[in-house]
Amino acid sequence: MIYLDNAATSFPKPPGVAEAVGEYLSEYSVSSGRSSYPAAVKVSKKIFTCRQNIAKLFNISDASRIVFTLNATAALNTALKGILRKNSTALISSLEHNAIARPLNYLKETKNINILTLKSDKDGYIIKEDLENKLAKKIDIVAVNHASNVFGLVQDIKTIGAICKKHGTLFMVDAAQTAGEIKIDVKDMNIDILAASGHKGLLSPAGVGFLYLRKGIEFPPLVHGGTGSNSEQSIQPKFWPDKMESGTLNIGSIIGLEKSTEFILKRTVKEISEKKSAITSYLIQNLNQIKGLSLYGPDNPGPDKPRSDKKRTSPVSFNIAGKTPSEIAEILNKKNICVRTGLHCAPMAHKFLKTYPEGTVRASAGYFTKEKEIDRLIATLKSI
């Protein structure tokens, strides 16, 4: 299998991840935070280390402010539904994933919230002056996709964070496509709320994500229930992370995430970033040579034009004249080359690219992708 769908979920996982999960399942598959026998203590320690690893990766000083969720979607829902009240206003970019757009539209229907969309330049970058202008009025949250899952455009979140801080507005970053691939420092970038999946760039199995909330941000959890702490009380504990984590966690996936974040910390985000950037450039350069193929994105101006130095990440979207994305996928499927086609849960981004409603073909390389795998994709696309 040639796997080029890492923007959906990463594959393969780093060495040791499957073994760690397998060992948990076969040797000590017990609950955490509820009991004091040795296996339970071992599980709790692994979860503790995983939280510490995430704190190190994102420069979070208090790891208890990191809450494990099912995925990035659950993390974003928790924050949006916790923060936004009747008639609140949310400000988003024009490239948001449905993980932000749908909960907001639900809140619009049920709580009459206002959703404002930032203007972007011709490439898709948020226009800073528009952000400044819109923040002059009361905005309850700025929620921005760090990188587009459709065409890899990376927003300048450090500048956006600084502007939000100046205006005293909460700033939430959807880092589903960048966590583990691009350096994120919540302090340096003034990020109040960070949401990410474990199974994409953080290289864990599916079923775990996290939400970070800066100290001082408090709202009720989405789900109330047992935490293994303060069980004599009929109400949710007030302390973190128990306040926000009810019920048994997805321990197996968290143990996988502990191992994969250990791998990322050892390799460093810088090295991972450079490697993914090199393989993505190789992909783009080769796609650029194919006649009749249109690439989308800020640094994909075509073979005759200079490449822009603007930052991008690994999802690369394209179309081939005369074929629909699903026709292309059918041909690639027969060769066991895995890409994604359609709207990639981000219709807003396709409206921006003018590729709505058919969408695009998206190839997304991962840390382990090899040039020869890209060559196989390119050869098949050339034959098309």
Ligand X SMILES: Cc1ncc(COP(=O)(O)O)c(C=O)c1O
In the complex, the residues that contact ligand X under the rule CB under 6 A are: 71-73, 97, 99, 145, 149, 174, 176-177, 197, 209, 345
Specify whether the backbone of 158 is left (phi greater than 0), alpha (psi in -120 to 50) or beta.
alpha
Shortest reach from residue 318's CB to ligand X, in Å: 18
Shortest reach from residue 58's CB to ligand X, in Å: 16
Taking alpha carbons only, the member of 35, 36, 75 closest to residue 54 is: 75
Shortest reach from residue 191's CB to ligand X, in Å: 15
Rounded CA separation 183/146 (Å)? 11
Of 7 and 377, nearer to ligand X (C-beta) is: 7
Rounded CA separation 340/362 (Å)? 5
Of 57 and 381, nearer to ligand X (C-beta) is: 57
Rounded CA separation 245/78 (Å)? 11
Of 43 and 100, nearer to ligand X (C-beta) is: 100
Shortest reach from residue 75's CB to ligand X, in Å: 8
User: From residue 94, how far is each of 24, 41, 88, 326, 335 by CA, in Å?
Assistant: 42, 46, 19, 25, 35
Shortest reach from residue 71's CB to ligand X, in Å: 3
Rounded CA separation 145/194 (Å)? 10
Shortest reach from residue 52's CB to ligand X, in Å: 22
Please, what sign has the CA dihedral across residues 175, 180, 183, 185?
positive
Structure tokens at 61: 């000083």
Shortest reach from residue 345's CB to ligand X, in Å: 6
Shortest reach from residue 378's CB to ligand X, in Å: 24
Shortest reach from residue 243's CB to ligand X, in Å: 22
Rounded CA separation 194/213 (Å)? 7
Please, what sign has the CA dihedral across residues 142, 200, 4, 271?
positive
Beta bridge partners of 318: 295, 361
Taking alpha carbons only, the member of 339, 292, 348 closest to residue 317 is: 339
Helix (H, G, I), strand (E, B) or coil at 74: helix
Of 343 and 378, nearer to ligand X (C-beta) is: 343
152-181 residues labelled b (16+ CB within 10 A) or e (exposed) = bbbbebeebbebbeebebbbbbbbbbbbbb
Of 146 and 214, nearer to ligand X (C-beta) is: 146
Of 179 and 269, nearer to ligand X (C-beta) is: 179
Of 33 and 207, nearer to ligand X (C-beta) is: 207
- Strand 360-364 with 315-320, pairing: antiparallel
Of 202 and 374, nearer to ligand X (C-beta) is: 202
Of 197 and 253, nearer to ligand X (C-beta) is: 197
